Amino acid sequence: MINHPAGPPPAQPSLDLDDGSPPRPARSLTPLPARRRSRLRARPELARLTVLLAAFVCAACGLVYELELVALGDYLLGDSVTQTSVVLSVMVFAMGLGSLLAKRFTRRPATAFALVECALALTGGLSVLAVYSCWAWIGHHQAVMVGLTCLIGVLIGAEIPLLMTLIQRIRREDAGHAAADLFAADYVGALIGGLAFPFLILPVLGPGSGALVTGAVNAVAGAAVVLWLFREEPAPRVRLLLWGGCGLVLALLAAAAAWSGAVERAARQALYGGQVRSVSQSRYQEIVLTGPAEGPLRLYLDGRLAVCGPDEYRGNEGLVHPAMAAGPDARVLLLGGGDGLALREVLRHRGVRSVLVVDRDPALPRLARTDPGLAALSGRSLDDPRVRTALADPLEWLRTVRPGPGESFDVVLADLPAPADGGPVTFHSQEFYGLTTRLLAPGGRLAVRGGDEQHGQKGLWQAESGLRAAGLRTVPYAVAGSATASCRPGPEGSQSFLLAAAAQPPLTLAPDAPPPRALTPDALRASAARLTALRPLHPPAALTLLGPH
């Protein structure tokens, strides 16, 4: 039990460090002038609320910077797991380092916080343009991304110690209570920033402009608010420099916003050449279409060459025609294929009655319908009355659809890039194949891409293991020539595919469609024999959502 001394409790000062007494030996804070102390005594609750609001906004901005870098890394490399892991781990480590470094600057916390926020606003606001420019012109952007992530993390980590010092300078209170309020504002701000990024910032502004706007908000809410509230802490000359620095940061961000369009156009010209027809940034990917109206067209998805006009038929014919020829083909499910090119091959079979296209990104089908060159290349297949479209992630759509009498398909075509070609593991996992198998009608077939053979055949055999684990019999085959040979010099190679069904499917071509340009029955059978001979004695394990990737 704690005994309290008799008599009235001693009066508590309304401002912990500004009551006129000399600083305690354990403290090193610089006392505020008397005029500032009287102003804070007049409305300490409002001053404290203002600091907490600054913490709220700064936390939201910090998380947006983090998510911008994660999203950009995913766009540039197509490996969201790796990019998220790198950015998060480096950011958290750097935040701890920044918290330690901030202990050296708590003597003048308002001045230090203003400098930190100005540096953070400038670094975070320009980070996306800097990484994108390095990727476009230099090609080695990973080191720049890690360096910027580390610097942003150090600056974010310095915020909490300085804000804690500012709150205690306004009014002395229990450290636990002050920390609880500060961390609550910080965490709620992070929640708002995390929700605003995918639903507001990314679809409306995009990564580049979103980072610039976030930097401007950060500078105003962080540096400007604290400088106004604690404007008597720095000397007049230092205060003038701080205000000038804050204004300079805003001016630089505004200039970057004004020139960002020119920077992006120059970067795309360096990447894709001078004939960029269309650029769109959807929630899922960056879509760039290049080439003259008369062709050849090139379609880039997140910087990856997905379609090369003169050669695209090779991959699409190889995916579609063997599967359509192995049995009934009245009802077809096309997973992916929002560009309409594989759909064009499907519709060449006279027995097709209906096709359902499931693609998650509405921007790609919209481009395939509106761009004259891409619409002509696809034969305006998306406008065919037999075609229906569903805007959904293919895996999520497969998980939620309930197979019934009207929801089974004679042919399912997975027009999704193989992991070796930059595609996500999700669409080649055992779970994906198992869900797809539920929708096959009796005698139905499933065709998937195995990848470019130049990248090795491990992905082909992993996909085959997944299909066999789903209870299907498989036959591998290949199509000679690369789908991007005309646009990307190098050896032609070949593309591999897998045809699967409950019973061993025949490998042939159907008479109810024009003869394909890249396929013949003899070439198909020869490629199947070659790949069967190369099948490993102990195939690799199937990819799963929870297994090693």
Catalytic residues: 415
User: Which string of b and e fits 275-299 if b means at least 16 CB within 10 Å?
Assistant: ebbeeebbebbbbbbbbeeeebbbb
> From CA 170, how far away is CA 249, in angstroms rounded?
28
What is the DSSP code string of 148-210? HHHHHHHHHHTHHHHHHHHHHHHS---HHHHHHHHHHHHHHHHHHHHHHIIIIIHHHTHHHHH
DSSP 136: I
Q: In this structure, are residues 449 and 417 in contact, taking their beta carbons and an 8 Å threshold? A: yes
> From CA 114, how far away is CA 99, in angstroms rounded?
16
Helix (H) or strand (E) holding 88, with range, is: helix 80-102
Q: In this structure, are residues 420 and 462 in contact, taking their beta carbons and an 8 Å threshold? A: no
What is the DSSP code string of 412-448? EEEE---GGGT--GGGGSHHHHHHHHTTEEEEEEEEE
Q: 170 φ, ψ to 5°?
A: -70, -45
CA angle 511, 503, 464 (to 5 degrees): 100
Q: Which residues, 6+ apart, have CB-to-CB distance to 403 below 8 Å?
A: 438, 439
Task: Give percent helix, percent strand, percent coil of the chain, each to the nearest 5.
Answer: 55, 15, 30
Q: Is 319 helix (H, G, I), strand (E, B) or coil?
A: helix
Within 10 A of 335 (CB to CB), how many other CB atoms are there?
23
Q: How far is Cα of residue 151 from the mean position of the Cα atoms in its chain?
A: 21
Q: 444 φ, ψ to 5°?
A: -75, 155
Q: Is 386 helix (H, G, I), strand (E, B) or coil?
A: coil
Q: Is 277 helix (H, G, I), strand (E, B) or coil?
A: strand
Nearest in space to 444 (alpha carbons), one of 401, 413, 476: 413
Q: 287 φ, ψ to 5°?
A: -115, 120
Tokens of 225: 């608010």
Q: In this structure, are residues 154 and 95 in contact, taking their beta carbons and an 8 Å threshold? A: yes
Whole-angstrom CA distances from 533 to 475, 476, 495, 525, 526 are 12, 11, 17, 12, 11
